[in-house]
Every structure is written in C-alpha cells, then in structure tokens.
Amino acid sequence: MAEASLPKKSLPKINKVDEPYWKGAAAGKLLLQKCKACGKLQFFPRVVCVDCFSGDIEWIEAKGTGKVHTFSWVRVPRNPAFKEDVPICYINVILDEGIIMESRLVGDSK
C-alpha cells in the first residue's frame, strides 16, 4: 500500500548573486567566487569580497577534491520530506582550495 505523499523538499531561492553558482551546480560544477582585486576565494556567494570589499569578483571552478573535516549521521529527519533519504551523512569539508563547506555525502554511504 502506498504511503501518503510526503511534503516536497524546499528548493533554494535563487537570486542574482548566487545564480551562477546554481547554474554551475546544475551543470555538475562546483563554482567558487574569486576576488580579482586580492585573489581571495570565498563561498557562499556574496556581492563583495569579504576580505577587501571589492565588487570585482569572478567565478572559478573548484577541483572538487578536499578532506572531510567532520561528519554527522542524520537518522531522524527534522523535515518529513527527507524521510526516505535517511540515514544521511552530513559532512564538513575543507576543499583543496581552502574553502570550508558543508555537504551531504552521496554514494554508498549507508
């Protein structure tokens, strides 16, 4: 017997600043912002560089490699929309570019 339909997972509200990031993600690319003035990389997307406040920012593709700094298993979803996804391995990664980001480990993680 089919279970009652689950609530929908929320999607990000894309804006002008982070639109390139989401378009890259849709194409399978991990994009980071790079300040043309000072060379600093940053994530998440912002209007200006957090280091020198320059608005002269470009997008670069990350290598997609890094090290897992820490992780946590989510076995009980706070949002019922993720009921069928658990257990989820939530990770904190230090990209080879030096950026720290959170993600979900996908693949054979169960």
Binding residues (CB under 5 A) for Zn ion: these are 35, 37-38, 40, 49, 51-52, 54
Q: How far is the CB of 52 from Zn ion (least distance, A)?
A: 3
**Taking a C-beta distance cutoff of 8 angstroms, is the pair 9, 81 a contact?**
yes
**Taking a C-beta distance cutoff of 8 angstroms, is the pair 34, 57 a contact?**
yes
When the beta carbons of 35 and 62 are compared against Zn ion, the nearer one is 35
Q: How far is the CB of 58 from Zn ion (least distance, A)?
A: 11
When the beta carbons of 42 and 103 are compared against Zn ion, the nearer one is 42
* b/e 82-97 (16+ beta carbons within 10 angstroms → b): beeeeebbebebebeb
Residue among 74, 62, 67, 63 at smallest CA distance from 93: 67
Q: How far is the CB of 49 from Zn ion (least distance, A)?
A: 3
